[in-house]
Amino acid sequence: MAKCDICGKGVHFGNAVSHSHRRSNKIWKSNIKSVKVKTDGGARKMHVCTSCLRSGKVERA
């Protein structure tokens, strides 16, 4: 799974707890998109999470 190139957000691990309180492994995946981003050297593709896109930390090409 890819990580955000801006903030470094990736997958999170924990336990899924059922109603009977049995535990199993769970993975929460971040919402990461591959987008074209304007950089000082031109435009290039980067992996960016949607929270960075919405907050304006990245300018799309």
Domain boundaries, the chain: 12-55
Q: What confidence score (pLDDT) does residue 50 get?
A: 95
Judge if pTM exceeds 0.85: no
Contact 3, 32 (CB under 8 A): yes
Tens of pLDDT, residues 15-49: 999 999 999 999 999 999 999 999 888 999 999 99
More confident residue, 13 or 59: 13
Task: Tell me the DSSP string of 2-43.
Answer: ---TTT----EEEEEE-TT--EEEEEE---EEEEEEEETTEE
pLDDT band of 52, cuts 50, 70, 90: very high
